[in-house]
Homo-oligomer: A and B are copies of this chain.
Amino acid sequence: MDTLESNFLAALDQVLGKPSPFIPLHEPEFGGREREFLNHCIDSTFVSSVGQYVDQFEAQLAEFTGAKAAIAVVNGTAALHIALLLAGVTPGDEVLVPALSFVATANAVAHCGAIPHFVDSEFSTLGLDPLALQNYLERIAQVTPQGLINKLTQRRIAAIIPMHTYGHPVSLGPLLHVAKHYQLPVIEDAAESLGSTYQGTHTGTLGLAGILSFNGNKIITTGGGGAILTNHQDLANQAKHLTTTAKQPHRWEFFHDHVGWNYRLPNLNAALGCAQLMELPMFLEKKRQLAQAYQDIFKEIEGINFIHAPENCLSNYWLNTIQLTQPSREIRDRLLTIANDAGFQCRPTWTLLHRLPMYTHCPRAPLPVAEQLEVSLINLPSSPKLVTGLRD
């Protein structure tokens, strides 16, 4: 084992203690009213599309994030799909997406019949780089009466999806500025950033719409679930309508006025969400403590940077992440091997989306930063409960 490897393992040991036998990357924690709310669903028989918890969960999400409205749906992919449709994305359009993201970001574009168009990230946020974006669009795109046109493909570029990687907010101020200049609707993929703010404003609420995820690995979970956030009441109404089969209210008639989706979150899952939301402030506090512990350790270790919240941002530190100062797939994989072998579940970042077979032929900008990040990022165990194991 070389110095970097032994230092890395020692740092994990010091922050987390010895695994016995295994410390997962991110585990949910159910220490609140989860059982009570689930049992109440069963007692009331309201487990499905009708019930108080969906309304309550949506109201509490709106309150917590400061969004005017939140619409609870089955998962983050579904939320992004509908948000893109409401932004006006139509089949054959292109949508700008970071190459460095989970596959769902691109899949939601594909589910609209649209084409992901990959753009680069920046080192400081791990998210879309506004300056690189501006330079790129200046070169390849043109604002026309039909919208922003990709001069190389002649297709319309219909929207952009900044994604707040591992909970760290994108440089939203400059990004929104570029998007506005190019008349691009912004749909924030805040799947990973519940609790993260950009200059005091919650991520997911600065664009036309944003989305959240409550998958089992997220900071709070509903089993599976997601939400659309928006400050536009008309968009919220449309989102609710489209995600609930577009049925018009009537005492008994079934009349649906649009192709709709069955994307509503069941009341059972919303019940879990209500209980989890009550725990969220505590989770955030613990996760920030854990991040601080990691940061304190890794600042002593040469060759490794701990990724901290961007300036003027509060990160939820969903997944704590280190970056190798010398990008190298070989070194990265050696560190992953020794950590996982020792029982610390660590993970690389995602394979860049333009390398996946179904997205190989999609348009893309130069991706020098994303390509470096791909072989230098490692996610560390990040469950809130790990804080109780923090060494003095």
Contacts and interface: CB of A to CB of B under 8 A. Distances in A.
Interface of A: 27-30, 34-35, 38-39, 42, 45-50, 74-78, 91, 102-104, 107, 110-111, 113, 215-217, 221-224, 245-247, 251-262, 264-269, 272, 336, 340, 346-348, 350-351, 356-358
17 contacts: A29-B45, A30-B42, A35-B38, A48-B216, A49-B215, A91-B113, A103-B246, A103-B247, A104-B245, A110-B259, A111-B261, A223-B267, A223-B268, A224-B262, A224-B265, A255-B351, A257-B356
Contact of A266 (B77, B110, B257, B269): B269
B252 A358 contact: no
B45 A30 contact: yes
A191 B356 CA distance: 34
B45 A27 contact: yes
B74 A45 contact: no
A259 B223 contact: no
Contacts of A259: 107, 110-111, 358
| Interface SS majority for chain A | loop
A28 B49 contact: no
B272 A269 contact: no
Nearest to A109: B259
Contact of A103 (B45, B77, B254, B347): B254
A144 to B, nearest CB: 26
Contacts of A103: 245-247, 254, 256, 260
Contacts of A255: 351, 356
A167 to B, nearest CB: 18
Contacts of A102: 254
